[in-house]
């Protein structure tokens, strides 16, 4: 598949990896299909011989031999889980809120067996509230439990709503749009890779999806020597 010449390198590398991975999966599927067809053919031959023996008992008995082994296309590889990193400590600053919550969610997604229920997930996340507004908010949650005898947050969905309300940036979309409509997002002294990362984050927050708009703004932000 050919890509437009102005495709960012990061996007091209990702597409190349996905194409290579898809080709490997296709080859494995074909090998598995061939193995299954070989085994089915051998079993069909044995069944035909048995039917002939039943129809004509005078035929010599079929030797008692084990069925042919199923050929293996590749050795089985035991999958090992990558070592998981815990989320960083959180002090309640808005610009770190989204990254911290995503880190918690990713850990829970990859290791769900470590938590008995949703409340245990919430308590685990609160152990990283170690300073600033985050520590104060966590203290208030536990004080409410002491006063009422009931933990105020019952599900992970409720925790997500409360976390977004208190620790996510208030005007993320509006701020991103204003930045993209100005010049502060331009590359400046950054590398192209750093500029691309920042640009993609702004586009995601702003909700821009029109390809022409993205290409125009991306090129406009590049240094003049690179635009041409």
Backbone angles phi, psi at 90, to 5 degrees: -120, 130
Helix locations, the chain, DSSP H: 9-55, 94-110, 118-126, 132-148, 156-167, 172-180, 192-206, 211-221, 224-227
Q: Are 185 and 207 members of one domain?
A: yes
**What are the tens digits of pLDDT across the range 36-88?**
778 777 777 877 777 776 666 665 555 555 656 665 555 666 666 678 899 99
| 223 within 8 A of 187, measured Cβ to Cβ | yes
What backbone torsions phi and psi does residue 129 show, to the nearest 5 degrees?
-85, 90
Q: Which domain holds residue 195?
A: 172-227
- Per DSSP, the three-state class of 127 is coil
Sign of CA dihedral 182, 188, 191, 192: positive
**The pLDDT of residue 173:** 85
DSSP codes joined into one string, 71-103: P-SS------PPPPPPPPPB---HHHHHHHHHH
The domain boundary, picked from 148, 167, 186, lies at 167
Residue 125, Cβ neighbours under 10 Å: how many? 23
Long-range contacts of 82-86 (CB under 8 A, 24+ apart): 84/110, 84/111, 86/128
* pLDDT given for residue 139 in this prediction: 95
> What's the rounded Cα separation, in Å, for the pair 85 and 152?
28
pLDDT value at residue 39: 78
Do 186 and 124 reside in the same domain of the chain? no
Length of the chain: 228
Same domain, 116 and 181: no
Is 163 found in the same domain as 99? yes
**Nearest one of 79, 128, 134 to 105, comparing CA atoms:** 128
Q: Which residues of 23-41 are buried (b: 16+ CB within 10 A; e: fewer)?
A: eeeeeeeeeeeeeeeeeee
Q: Is 143 in the same domain as 190?
A: no
Instruction: Please list the rounded mean pLDDT of every run of 10 residues in the chain (228 residues).
Output: 56 60 71 76 76 65 59 61 87 91 94 94 96 94 92 94 90 88 91 91 89 90 80
Question: Which residues does residue 90 pair with via DSSP β-bridges, in sequence order?
Answer: 129
| 4 within a domain of the structure (yes/no) | no
Is 149 domain-assigned? Answer: yes
To the question of pTM greater than 0.75 for the whole model, the response is no
Q: Verify that 163 and 178 share a domain, yes or no.
A: no
Q: Of the candidates 117, 146, 167, which is a domain's last residue?
A: 167
């Amino acid at each position: 598949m050919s890509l437009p010449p102005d495709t960012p390198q990061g996007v091209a590398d990702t597409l190349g990896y996905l194409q290579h991975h898809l080709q490997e999966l296709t080859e494995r599927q074909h090998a598995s299909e061939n193995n299954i067809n070989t085994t089915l053919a051998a079993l069909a031959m044995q069944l035909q011989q048995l039917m002939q023996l039943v129809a004509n008992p005078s035929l010599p008995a079929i030797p008692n031999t084990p069925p042919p082994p199923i050929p293996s296309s590749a050795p089985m590889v035991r999958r090992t889980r990558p070592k998981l990193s815990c989320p960083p400590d959180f002090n309640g600053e808005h610009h770190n809120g989204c990254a911290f919550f995503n880190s918690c969610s990713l850990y829970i997604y990859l290791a769900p067996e470590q938590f008995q229920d949703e409340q245990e997930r919430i308590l685990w996340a609160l152990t990283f509230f170690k300073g600033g507004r985050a520590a104060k908010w966590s203290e208030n949650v536990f004080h409410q439990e002491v006063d009422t005898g009931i933990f105020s947050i019952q599900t992970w969905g409720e925790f997500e709503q409360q976390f977004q309300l208190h620790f996510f940036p208030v005007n993320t979309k509006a701020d991103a749009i204003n930045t993209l409509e100005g010049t502060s997002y331009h590359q400046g002294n950054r590398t192209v890779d750093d500029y691309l990362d920042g640009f993609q984050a702004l586009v995601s927050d702003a909700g821009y999806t029109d390809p022409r708009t993205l290409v125009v703004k991306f090129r406009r932000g590049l240094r003049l020597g690179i635009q041409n």
